[in-house]
Chains A and B, each alone.
Chain A
């Protein structure tokens, strides 16, 4: 039944994928200060670059360059500048000369005109002549030099590509004409590039890596994983339902619709409060269902009318909530959102169960299974082993880097590592600004202001042109010059000498630096000294690498006080309940066995402990305290009653593990880490509840009796 809810959740998540309220961005990991900048980066075409890795001889690479440059969706391919691309870039550039520069005087202009006329006399396409008619001053050469200088900032690339004679690989940078979020267009383009390689003689392989390719690879992986997990989960659900029906415990299934309703309500409340709900918060849903289900199953097997049952449930939910509420104060939006979702979902489901079970206990009341922990005494060894192994978790590799959540196939990973080892690919420092201004700095940089100055500077340049051209004087041109340069003379007509309209479409040559009505300038500091100078000049500046590497530091800082305080709070609640330090400590034993089991599994299977693993362990913490309280309450207050607690715990744990085991087969790091943390954590918790706590309890009781004697 827990699985029914879990898979209803997964199916609902996939069916709803894509609406506006569903957030998939990485920005949800970032603090508000960092988020403002990171959020906008994807809007700027300057970040729409990918790398095509080709294994092919030079003639095949040349053919690929020719053909890829002409593909729909390719904005720029430095190994082959298409004539259309250059023409669209340069027409705007030539037209904006008076905005960019002071009037140079007629002597200078006429000399430029004569030189350009000489150039125009060479054999060339008519469209190039039209460009020359716009540009007597030869400013296109300046634009070309600026673009070449930009390309030279990365010394690994020559002629728009990087060749590695050792591996025989060629890397072609390519800029797409749409943002990485348009996965369908990326898919079509990558398929075409792959097809092109197979049609080109000598092309052995082609692989694309970069912003678009990574987004597509992640989305495809999640889709495939959810498909796999759904199939395996459906199988597990079917088997569990069949078991419940065959053993005539079908009343437990009555919990499922109410639980799904409560969690859906929690998701809706999250959307209302946060505006959106992140995919990872939804992925948290199955874990939440597992947690919320515990109180229902516990009540089904231990008399829903009993005050003792609900007292144990009450302590269970608040020991869980205390840490969830504390984490809700994190500056990381994802944690805040997840914790709100969890606390709201837990409370709502608890309220619904309480209301229904107190009024209609017969709908839910179920006879327990004839199972007790005493039957498998050898499990005590595992319980002790896991308990002792718990500290091992601190010796596991902590993987808090955001890059860890980015799924990469083995091939992509190999190429990325190879590329960053070979190429000089610095992470630029990014400064986002509302106005198009020229930023002054002696540190290498590139931005819109390097091409078109700000409004005031444009005005100042235009004033010199107006002073020279808008009086009574005539221009001293020959009839041939007047006729040939008619398009240029039109751009410097008095009524055209106006600054660029901020509301109009931007010129083609600065479009890379514009997005969402804002502008971006990139800086390329060479060393730490330049970085420090840059930061003192522009305090808001940061690099994508810095933004993402800030996440582990912030997370570590927050967890270092939230987790101890949360544990202390939960322990204080246990103490309030038992008024005995020893009994309170015994209720925590299942958590430590869960932690120990996960530590052993992560060591044996070489699993990294990531942010998502920690989120999974939080759910385990919630479950384990519930289990611990249920067991301790049973041992202390209800030992002579029917032993329904073992059935309840077994069913809770079996359903949770069956639900999360399929996630272990997922290859996306988020689902994979969550699956492992919950599977092994729940297994250890289960062992700790049934054998760990009773075993320590009986040892404690014997020791106490000995001391008293």
Chain B
């Protein structure tokens, strides 16, 4: 029993927001975050991998820039319910106020992930903890999220190193993050 019990525990430990908050404690009080990433989107029915690289930059409270540098420069800014895509041909803007309710909720859920907002994530997903550095998330029933499940891997230092998004379509997005530069709020 002593040998087998930890194995069972590793597969079935549903946890609450407190555990997630604790795991993401490094991100809860930050003011700025900058980190490089590598991404692979796997299109399941085409059996095709789309590889890209870029840089994530977060400015609290709600400004996120997802900047892709390879294969071509493209940046996506999310701020105040607005998505702005800057490409070589100009800007495209989408306002969540003009979107359907379901689209708005999807956008919010995505933003919560990029901000690593533990409380907001816990509202939309059921959290399971494999071990201290591995978490899995399952979208709660009725949530219109594009993503049905996620896996998150943390480094020993508490930084997020890997994220795996499983989309409803069967496609997957794998993200690997480098070491982030964090700037904390004054006094923390």
Contacts and interface: CB of A to CB of B under 8 A. Distances in A.
B13 interface: no
Contacts of B101: 62-63, 66
Main secondary structure of the interface of A (DSSP, over half): helix
Contacts of B146: 123-125
Contacts of B100: 66, 69, 80, 82-83
A483 B171 CA distance: 16
Given A121-B173, A126-B171, A141 B98 contact: no
Given A144-B92, A480-B48, A484-B50, A118 B74 contact: yes
Nearest to A148: B93
A123 B92 contact: no
Contacts of A138: 87, 89
B46 interface: yes
Contacts of A69: 100
A360 interface: no
Interface in B61-120: 66, 68, 71-74, 76, 85, 87-90, 92, 95, 97-101, 103, 110
A144 B74 CA distance: 19
Given A138-B89, A484-B46, A117 B52 contact: yes
Contacts of A126: 167, 169, 171
A82 B100 CA distance: 7
Nearest to A161: B98
A118 B92 contact: no
Interface in A642-663: none
B48 A484 contact: yes
Interface in B143-188: 146-147, 165, 167, 169, 171, 173
A661 B10 CA distance: 90
B80 to A, nearest CB: 14
Contacts of B90: 141
A115 interface: yes
A469 to B, nearest CB: 22
Contacts of A66: 100-101
Contacts of A480: 48-50
Interface string B9-20: 000000000000
Contact of A119 (B74, B99, B165, B167): B74
Nearest to A479: B48
Contacts of B92: 141, 144
A141 B48 contact: no
Contacts of B72: 111, 114-115, 117-118
A552 B42 CA distance: 68
A119 B147 CA distance: 17
Contacts of A484: 43, 46, 48, 50
A211 interface: no
A79 interface: yes
A80 B98 contact: yes
Interface residues of B, number: 36
A64 to B, nearest CB: 11
Nearest to B94: A144
Interface string A453-466: 00000000000000
B88 A129 contact: no
A114 B70 CA distance: 8
B97 A120 contact: no
B98 A81 contact: yes
A480 B70 CA distance: 14
B39 interface: yes
Nearest to A114: B72
Contacts of A80: 98-100
B140 interface: no
Given A118-B71, A159-B97, A125 B39 contact: no
- Residue with the highest number of chain B CB atoms closer than 10 Å, among A122, A129, A480: A122
Given A66-B101, A81-B98, A160-B98, A117 B89 contact: no
B41 interface: yes
Nearest to B45: A126
Interface in A103-143: 111-112, 114-115, 117-126, 129, 138, 141
A472 B66 CA distance: 41
Contacts of A112: 89
Contacts of B98: 79-81, 159-160
B41 A120 contact: yes
Interface string A70-102: 000000000111110000000000000000000
A123 B46 contact: no
Contacts of B43: 129, 484
Contacts of A82: 100
Contacts of A483: 46, 48
Contact of A114 (B46, B71, B169): B71
8 contacts: A62-B101, A66-B101, A115-B88, A119-B87, A120-B41, A123-B110, A141-B92, A159-B95
Given A118-B74, A120-B50, A125-B146, 18 more contacts: A69-B100, A82-B100, A83-B103, A112-B89, A114-B71, A114-B72, A117-B50, A117-B52, A117-B72, A119-B74, A120-B41, A121-B50, A122-B66, A122-B76, A125-B169, A160-B98, A483-B46, A484-B50
Interface of B: 39, 41, 43, 46, 48-50, 52, 66, 68, 71-74, 76, 85, 87-90, 92, 95, 97-101, 103, 110, 146-147, 165, 167, 169, 171, 173
Interface of A: 62-63, 66, 69, 79-83, 111-112, 114-115, 117-126, 129, 138, 141, 144, 159-160, 480, 483-484
Interchain residue pairs A-B with the least CB separation, the first 8: A114-B72, A126-B169, A114-B71, A115-B72, A118-B74, A118-B68, A121-B41, A121-B50
